[in-house]
Amino acid sequence: MYLSVLGTHSGITGSVQVPNSKYHAHRALILASLAPGTSRISGLTDARHVQYTVAALRQLGTAIDVQDDTFIVHGGPYRPRRAVVSAGSSGTTLYFMAGLASLGTRDVVVTGQKYFQRRPIGALLAALREMGVDIASNGGCPPLQVAHGRPRGGEVHISGTLSQWISGLLLLAPFARSETTVLVDGPQNETSYVELTLAMMARFGLQVEASEDLRRFRIPADQQAVPADLRLPPDIGSAAFGLAAAALHPADISLTGLSATSSSGSDHPEADFLDLAAQMGVPMDYDQAADAVRVRHQGLDLQPVDVDCRRVPDMLPVLSVMACLAAGRSVFRNIDHVRMKESDRVAAMLQLNSMGADLTVEGSTLTIRGVGSLGGADLSSFNDHRVLMSLAVAASAAEGRSTLTYPNAYRISYPEYLAAMTTFGLHMKVEDGVLQRPRPSRPARTARGSRPRSIYGPAAVEAAAAVTGPDWVRRWAAERPNETAVVDGGPRISGHLTWSELDTQAHRVAAALLELGVRPGDRVAFQLPNRSEFVVLTVAVLRLGAVAAPVMPIFREREVALVLDRAGARVFVAVEEFRGRHPAEELAGLLQRADRTDAVPAPKVADVLVLRNAESPRPLPSVAGGPRFHDWDAVLNRVHPAAVLPPGAAPTVGDPAQLLFTSGTSGEPKGVVHRHGALSRAAAMEAAHLGLTSDDAVFIPSPLAHQTGFLYGMWLSFVLGCPQILQPVWDAERAVKLMRGWRATFVQAATPFLTDLVAAVDAGTAAPPSLRIFVATGAAVPRHLAERATRVLGAGICGAFGTTETCLATLASPGDEPVKVWGTDGRALEGVRTRIVDDDGRLLPPGVEGNFELLSPTVFDGYLDRPDLTKEALTEDGWYRTGDTAILDDAGYLRITGRVRDIINRGGEKIPVAEIEQLLYRHPAVRDVALAAMPDDRLGERACAFVVPVEGSRLQLADLTGFLDRHSVSRHYWPERLELVDALPRNAVGKVQKFLLRDTARSFAAGGGPPEPGTPDWSSQ
């Protein structure tokens, strides 16, 4: 078993009851047991530590009844009921009862759980012997043989290491036959706990004279404790975890029963934590009417602290978590004795470094430098309740998923902890199973329990092809409802949906769309970035038997209007704002321009749903006589919770599911239709080829509105039943954090994403250890980059070929020999056939370049309303013309050599564009490169090299030609013009838009002066 914690940056809310003090409870119960008569201790605590003390006292013969919230203790001489008294797993019970057991009427053995047999308490045993207790042990560790008989008293020496040792002596000394003097040798480390012991002894009539520095105590002999009634105060040590959670998240929480916001007036030994929390900037207000401390804020800039741990030793774990996210350097002094708690808590908290924190230990000082964020990690709690609870709070604010061993350790001191944290909205859950860390060399196993791993074979692929998109979600919502399905990985925040939540939200959205008139076969268009609403909306649309028609977020008014018109969409969904643009307002503006002269038709959309900006929503647009604009949340709030979808709406695998418009690397986008069964089959084919399983986690930086993100991100997650991690705005460092925190194992994206990841790791960002496969699509992967990325990322970099129309056709595998992985675009997936033909359609032998065609069960149904274009794309025998030139080797591995339209025909000699680009990419001054045809009166075409240079380089054409010369490349293939640019024009998934390069090169040939380096502006085209 383990504790699974999902990080979130969302706010926390709620109210929890603070339990009563276990420190007061231990002392009150023991003192009441020693006082002849009846004592009443109100304010029960369920802490297991306290229950162990109750059990030990009962074993010694003390009668303890429970009435409502009160312990009723009948004190008097100890008459042990049996020869063995157990302290369970409570160190406090062990230390206190070791000497007090001698006051019984028979010899006993004091023992505890097995790990106590390794706990050295020789210093305490020596002090007890000095007092006259006949106590023996094996090696200074429990079990302890305690002979009955009152102690003698006298002068006793004890180390000031642990307060419980001192308190154990003080509790016993009043019952000695002569006066006892307890002298503390060395520093007194934990004075607040000793102060509580003295105060509680006074409540029960016992006298102790203590020096001001609490290093000398005189205890008169032959004292008699007297009964007392008292109420236990709130446990600040437990409340600390709620306050820490509120410090790390935007919060509006109440801690009921906590009656103070500072240490003033409190005798709780950990009250100083309140002062430290306030010093760090946690706003705490006491609400007298509610008897609660309330913490309310929208985000804190925590301040560092300087702490002497002798006052709050048990608070070091939780304070160190808060310090990790403080703005500056925190120092924790005098930490040596903290290493002697239930575990070495200093070493345990150094695990925060594996989450990205910065903790160092030097001598008896722990220094923590605040960091901007933490990442998920697999951690050990060492069966220490405070370590477990503190690291879980850290994990709740981290990026990703963390796991902790000994998940139930919290019950020993704060049984309500897990319920309290989940009440606030934090995602913590005890799960069954054995934790296994991912290994790059095989399918990663994230810790998700003991369910069987699903590996796809031929039969499973066929079975998958018979399942629709919404049925996948329903399946996982039933089988693994509480597991993570979707992770929102925004620039500053992240959230997540479980399969159950995804299913429920999709049903709600489907009901809302039904009320708007969406029916089976209708097309619903949406222009959304990579966020959970995209996934929810897709499932909802498909659940109604409608067709999802996502629109690329980069599309502007003209492209959006064109897509909406061609799709015939009756509903359009958009975000209010994305990257400075306002899609709904743009659409409204387009519709209002009734006198426009462009050729863009006005789309006939009936309803537009807008996902508003929660912090600063803008007014909804309105268009006279046009579509109705709705607030997304308002529409959903009108849906009845018990809304039922019509049974006939559910799609079949043969129904259309997806309408995508091609990315336009060579011209105007065309609508591509795919059915449910084809999408499920395509995802299952890739899973079978790569050995992907339900234990994987899919990272999606590619737009979900493109086939790479939609099918090989979102739909692949549906088929596998594994998490999908969404990134709406590309940032390589953020991507690495998301992959590390959420244990991403698989990515399919274009070459630029891979280039940036490698650059980020080269710059010092730690590579995501769980990543094992990166499938590079969209453009040929430079082989030099693939080889380097394999080393830098520690993952398999697999080339592939696919199109919007066909899905993936060929794919390499990490198990292939390196020359195939890095030097080809893979081999055909199971069920796919490939061939190379000449311009007349004649089959060419292996090793000969020609036109690449393929036949696959995942080929599209055709271009929307364009049978003429569909006919052009397919041969008479049904093969798809890819428009690429390629070579197939004897083993069936594919190597794309270029686009038919990208071929540069120089005087009848065809330049192998892809090979020259691959070679030029290896030049040390080249960051990115593409060749394009430049018209020439004599030769027809010449090659122009568009190069993004490495920063600071002074690249010239002679550098490139010299480089090619040294690699024995024919002069006919050398570029004859060099244009330095800031970036190559790429579409949203990384494909170089060669038609723009050709247009620019054509302007050179037309006599226009060559542009200055960096000036071509492709962003608006």
State the binding site. Answer: 22, 27, 91, 119, 163-164, 314, 341, 345, 386
Pairing verdict, β 909-911 and 904-906: antiparallel
- Would you tell me how many other CB atoms lie within 10 Å of the CB of residue 436? 12
CA 1003: distance to chain centroid?
A: 49
Task: Supply angle C-alpha 984, 990, 993, rounded to 5.
Answer: 50
Pairing verdict, β 401-404 and 378-379: parallel
Dist. CA 583–CA 553, nearest whole Å:
9
Dist. CA 878–CA 434, nearest whole Å:
50
| DSSP annotation of 447 | S
Dist. CA 804–CA 706, nearest whole Å:
8
CA dihedral over 713, 718, 720, 722, signed as positive or negative: positive
For 483, the 3-state DSSP assignment is coil
Backbone angles phi, psi at 29, to 5 degrees: -65, -45
Within 8 A by CB and 6+ apart from 1009, the residues are none
For 746, the 3-state DSSP assignment is strand
**Residue 748 in tokens:** 């399919």
The candidate with the shortest Cα–Cα distance to 849, out of 798, 804, 900, 790, is 900
CA 600: distance to chain centroid?
A: 43
Dist. CA 439–CA 795, nearest whole Å:
10
Burial class (CB in 10 A: 0-12, 13-18, 19+), 442: exposed
Dist. CA 981–CA 997, nearest whole Å:
11
Active site residue 213: no
Dist. CA 787–CA 565, nearest whole Å:
45
User: Are the beta carbons of 415 and 49 closer than 8 angstroms?
Assistant: no
**Residue 205 in tokens:** 């009539």
**Please, what's the b/e burial string for 486-505 (b: 16 or more CB within 10 A of its CB; e: otherwise)?**
bbbbbeeebbbbbbbbbbbb
Strand order in the sheet with 70-75: 63-67, 70-75, 37-42, 229-231
User: Are the beta carbons of 202 and 153 closer than 8 angstroms?
Assistant: no
Binding-site members for phosphoenolpyruvate are: 22, 91, 119, 164, 345, 386
Within 8 A by CB and 6+ apart from 363, the residues are none
**Residue 683 in tokens:** 């995802």
| DSSP annotation of 453 | P
Dist. CA 168–CA 181, nearest whole Å:
14
Task: Supply angle C-alpha 923, 927, 933, rounded to 5.
Answer: 80
**Residue 289 in tokens:** 């009417």
Catalytic residue among 314, 471, 902, 928, which? Answer: 314
| DSSP annotation of 19 | P
Binding-site members for 3-phosphoshikimate are: 22, 27, 163-164, 314, 341
Backbone angles phi, psi at 952, to 5 degrees: 90, -10
Pairing verdict, β 63-67 and 70-75: antiparallel
First to last CA, the chain: 55
Helices then strands, each counted (H, E), the chain: 30, 49
Dist. CA 465–CA 453, nearest whole Å:
19
Within 8 A by CB and 6+ apart from 935, the residues are 941, 1001, 1002, 1005
Dist. CA 732–CA 122, nearest whole Å:
55
Q: DSSP assignment of 470-482, as one string?
A: HHHHHHHHHHSTT
Which positions are annotated as active-site residues? 314
